[in-house]
Amino acid sequence: MAEYVMSVEQIGPTLLPLVGGKAANLGELSRLPGVNVPDGFCVTTDAYADIVARDDHLHRLLEGLAGVAGGDLEGIRSVSARIRDAIEALSIPAGISGAIAGQLHRLGDTEAYAVRSSATAEDLPTASFAGQQDTYLNVIGLDAVLRCVRNCWASLFTERAVAYRLQQGIDHRGVQLAVVIQRMVFADVAGIMFTADPITSDRRTVSIDAGFGLGEALVSGLANADNYRVRDENIVGRLVSAQTVAVRPLPGGGTEQTGVDADRQTARKLTDAQILRLAGIGRELEAHFGGPQDVEWALADDEFSIVQSRPITTLFPVPGPQDGKNHVYMSFGHQQMMTDAMKPLGMSFFQAQFEGTPLIEAGGRLFIDMAPDLASPVGRQLALASLRAIDPLIDSAIRILMKRKGFAKNLAGDGERYLTLGGGGGYFTWRLPVEAVKLYRSNDPAPIAALKADHEADLDEQQRKLGSLSGDELFEAVLDDLRQHLKVEVIDPRSMGAVYAGMFALNRVNKRMEKWLAVKGAADVLAQAVADDVTSQMGLALLDVADIVRRHPQAMAVLPLLTDDTFFADLSAVEGGESVSQAIRAFLDSYGMRCPGEIDLTRPRWSEAPTQLVPMILSNANSIEEDPAPSARAGRVERSRRRADEMQQSLVDRLQREPGGRWKARRAAKMISRVRTFAGYREYPKYLMMRHYWMIKRALLAEAARLVDAGIVRRPDDVYYLTFDEFREAARTGRVDQELIGQRRAEFERDTRLTPPRVITSDGEVPPGAYENATAPDGALTGIAASAGTVEGRARLVLDLADAYLEEGDILVTTYTDPSWTPVFLTVRGLVTEVGGMMTHGAVVAREYGLPAVVGVDGATRLLRDGQRIRVNGTDGYVELL
């Protein structure tokens, strides 16, 4: 039998489907000693479901809303308005209205109440939905309460609520609405408390906003709040704001805006004792609910009432222990150009590859605790020197922390060190500078060719070995390949020495040419058309595909309509499709192991999902000039080589005219020669790594298919939500926890909505980094000058490579780029990324293709609008909004 009402005291967290998130939290709060919660009751979701089930017209409208896309603002506006009108016009059945009347009689028929919505997808650990539905204050009498209940039901379909659910991927029909009705608190002061600082995310700081009158004045933005900050039971900040307007209750019901008396407008809202008492309540709520809380409170007659406490869902989880010592966690993903969440199999696989490296998981991302390195003066100096080259914003954020009084003294000094990366086999071994210097001095490409030949032979041997194994033998062989072959190949001092020789040559040319000739970014031009750049060669190879595609109009027209499952069969069925299929297959034979976010083994490779290539193929096909001779690739390579040769000749000629010019010209020619010899190798280790990944993935997917055939998992990608060891155990025992797989899927969806910080401390603080750029004009966005030149054009915000339909002349604005984005660079005129440094993928390929680029522009995808005209200054490192 339906239960239409429940008192707050009856409600617990297990009743969430019946009462919604807000009521479930209030019921839990009402049982906490020392926490005052206004008495009240809940109109349950049974009542809402009964109303919807009775009305066929409303049911049809809800069905129609399911077909509206998230970006269809007009569709959302139209359908949601019709649903609200239908709900507000409903007559509440006697069974429901009678139950509400009975509760009002218990509490007091003439009392004033607050009527608030409580959705089943609201105030949850993974999605707060704060403010998505309506609240009504100072409601008096049964008729007014019933009207507000109906309006709360309708508010489930406001445009903002519908859009939010679409963004969170929540089915409208699966969300039910309850309504909370509580005694009204006629507050002298009200506000919001965050038990973690909402600006810095510091978990040790409580932030309290307070204003005179009802809290509606602050929520609606009518008044500025006082802000008080409490850290470790000490008040560390008091910001008093002038308040001229407050919201007060009217005698007959409802509220009004009133002026604040002149002598009180600049007065503090809370005393120090009240601030500390409220912060203490916040800590009790945080301890009870097991995480930082967003708390709504009211103060009347010096007594605090808590009217809501919900989890803060936007905080990024702290990666490691909170042991009283300071830890500094650096994002590994910002170095790898992979800030997306990773699935458990991909995460554990990557960690197994770098066993012994201090990689810590949080929020589906990997972090490194820098505290052991920073704890010693020598380690600190080495770490900061390396970080400045990797990501200046990480470097800046850590320097800010290290200047803080007492921070360095309390650093955790024990643990694995970043600078030894894997117990002495990493980037910073003594052999690395030796190998780099030896290669740089010799300027001989032969060792690179020999190194590649060794790697190719080893890859072939491993592929033959994995192809013959299954079961536990396969998993053991995969671990052997990761630890004994791939790890050695990727961080082999000889290989990394070649990378660093190229980095050193680029840096040295830029510094010398700026000093000698006042030419900035000279090496950016000289790095075009360098030897051995496998990533740039990949982009040019896809240009060859585009060259073929544009000659077959029917195949070109059908490409956007294809699906991965029948891609080549459907393509070959149209005129010219077979030729295009052959071209794409040939490309995939060489580069099909790549994809966006490729360090996550579980991400679909181009060979698995060739539709990912379609936007890039079409963008390139549309930008190719008619009848290129002999091909678009050859034309682009020749132009790049000519620009580099012309720059080299210009620099040498100018230097020879300078005092001491002959010596400088000879030095410059040698440095430039080293750029051309070594700069292209930068992308090869990642390419080799992805070839190993694809070989291993195919073997593991064959094992997953065997588990599906045996009925152990439902579908192959279920294994992506198991760790590598769990997958191995499932294959060995024939058992798997399906509930765990479902839980991991939900956790992954939650993690995808989090934004990983570059740096986060053990207190949860996210220190902001900053650039120093004296040349940037006011209002410009600053970043790293990654590839010289200045260009103006239309900003195209692309967050997913599958949406990269670009036109020639566009400027690509995105979060990060990895090698899979390279073909896009053939169409655009410039690049702006939020993540990156001088030697990360976007910077390297932008220089190769001669594109002005600014990388590491914090918040670029939020601050720039799609279609906006911008100017990218890749020489001085800033972006202007035109």
- pLDDT tens across 173-188, in order? 667 889 999 999 999 9
- 49 pLDDT band (50/70/90 cuts)? confident
- 132 pLDDT band (50/70/90 cuts)? very low
Indicate the pTM of the whole model. Answer: 0.84
End-to-end CA distance of the chain: 64
Among 403, 395, 342, residue whose Cα is nearest residue 370 = 395
Rounded average pLDDT over 730-753: 94
Strands 189-194 and 293-300: antiparallel
Residue 526's pLDDT is 85
Handedness of CA 861, 863, 867, 870 (dihedral sign): negative
In 3-state terms, what secondary structure has residue 713? Answer: coil
The amino acid present at 516, given as its one-letter code, is W
Is 70 exceeded by the pLDDT of residue 574? yes
Strands 359-362 and 365-369: antiparallel
How does pLDDT run across 281-331, given as a tens digit for each residue? 999 999 999 999 999 999 999 999 999 998 988 899 999 888 889 999 999
How does pLDDT run across 150-165, given as a tens digit for each residue? 999 888 888 877 877 7
- Residue 861's region, left for phi above 0, alpha for psi from -120 to 50, else beta, is alpha
Q: What is the spatial distance between Cα 466 and Cα 481, in angstroms, rounded to a whole number?
A: 9
The amino acid present at 496, given as its one-letter code, is M
Rounded average pLDDT over 321-347: 92
Handedness of CA 60, 62, 67, 72 (dihedral sign): positive
Per DSSP, what are the bridge partners of residue 296? 192, 308
> Hunting for tokens 């679409």 — which residue is that?
166
Residue 804's pLDDT is 87
Among 172, 164, 180, 244, residue whose Cα is nearest residue 211 = 244
Residue 122's pLDDT is 46
Residue 116's pLDDT is 92
- 860 pLDDT band (50/70/90 cuts)? very high
Is 80 exceeded by the pLDDT of residue 633? no
Looking at 624-660, list the stretches that DSSP marks H as alpha helix, in order from N- to C-terminal side: 632-656
Residue 123's pLDDT is 43
- 601 pLDDT band (50/70/90 cuts)? very high
How does pLDDT run across 757-775, given as a tens digit for each residue? 999 999 999 998 888 887 8
Q: What is the spatial distance between Cα 824 and Cα 203, in angstroms, rounded to a whole number?
A: 41
Per DSSP, what are the bridge partners of residue 117? 179
Q: Is 243 exposed, middle or buried (0-12, 13-18, 19+ CB in 10 A)?
A: buried
Q: What does R_g of the chain's alpha carbons equal in angstroms? A: 31
Rounded average pLDDT over 660-682: 89
Q: What is the spatial distance between Cα 713 and Cα 717, in angstroms, rounded to a whole number?
A: 9
Q: What is the spatial distance between Cα 31 and Cα 18, in angstroms, rounded to a whole number?
A: 19
Is 60 exceeded by the pLDDT of residue 425? no
- 428 pLDDT band (50/70/90 cuts)? very low
| Low-confidence winner among 63-67, 228-232, 329-333 (lowest mean pLDDT) | 63-67
Strands 853-855 and 830-833: parallel
Is 50 exceeded by the pLDDT of residue 131? no
Is 90 exceeded by the pLDDT of residue 635? no
Handedness of CA 27, 31, 34, 36 (dihedral sign): positive
Is 70 exceeded by the pLDDT of residue 129? no
Q: What is the spatial distance between Cα 318 and Cα 320, in angstroms, rounded to a whole number?
A: 6
Under 8 Å CB-to-CB from 124, ≥6 apart: which residues? 21, 311, 313
841 in catalytic set: yes
Alpha carbon separation from 22 to 114, 179, 180, 310 (Å, rounded): 13, 9, 8, 8
| Low-confidence winner among 49-53, 342-346, 479-483 (lowest mean pLDDT) | 49-53
User: How much is the mean pLDDT over the chain?
Assistant: 88
SS3 string of 226-277?
EEEEEECCEEEEEECCCCCEEEEECCCCCEEEEECCHHHCCCCCCCHHHHHH
Residue 624's pLDDT is 73
Residue 438's pLDDT is 87
Write down the catalytic residue from 327, 552, 692, 841: 841
Among 78, 172, 57, 190, residue whose Cα is nearest residue 135 = 190
Backbone angles phi, psi at 728, to 5 degrees: -60, -40
Residue 424's pLDDT is 39
Strands 781-782 and 5-7: unpaired
> Hunting for tokens 């609200």 — which residue is that?
84
Please check whether residue 535 is in contact with residue 566, taking contact to mean a CB–CB distance below 8 angstroms. Answer: no
Q: What is the spatial distance between Cα 377 and Cα 392, in angstroms, rounded to a whole number?
A: 20
> Hunting for tokens 């008091």 — which residue is that?
238
The residue ranking higher by pLDDT, 331 or 391, is 331
Among 110, 118, 94, 95, residue whose Cα is nearest residue 41 = 118
Among 437, 451, 447, residue whose Cα is nearest residue 500 = 437
Rounded average pLDDT over 628-648: 77
Query: Pseudo-torsion of CA 789, 790, 793, 798, nearest 10°?
Result: 50
Q: What is the spatial distance between Cα 459 and Cα 120, in angstroms, rounded to a whole number?
A: 52
Helix axes 724-733, 471-480, angle to 10 degrees: 160
How does pLDDT run across 474-531, given as a tens digit for each residue? 999 999 988 887 766 666 778 888 888 888 888 899 899 999 999 988 888 888 878 7
Is 50 exceeded by the pLDDT of residue 189? yes
> Hunting for tokens 């990501």 — which residue is that?
391
CB atoms within 10 A of CB 808: 15
Rounded percentage of the chain residues whose pLDDT exceeds 90: 58
Handedness of CA 514, 519, 520, 521 (dihedral sign): negative
Please check whether residue 75 is in contact with residue 163, taking contact to mean a CB–CB distance below 8 angstroms. Answer: no
Please check whether residue 871 is in contact with residue 795, taking contact to mean a CB–CB distance below 8 angstroms. Answer: no
Residue 301's pLDDT is 95
Q: What is the spatial distance between Cα 825 and Cα 444, in angstroms, rounded to a whole number?
A: 30
> Hunting for tokens 């000659």 — which residue is that?
551
Rounded average pLDDT over 633-643: 79
Question: Which of 419-433, 466-480, 569-583: highest mean pLDDT?
Answer: 569-583
H or E stretch covering 6: strand 5-7
> Hunting for tokens 């009775």 — which residue is that?
54
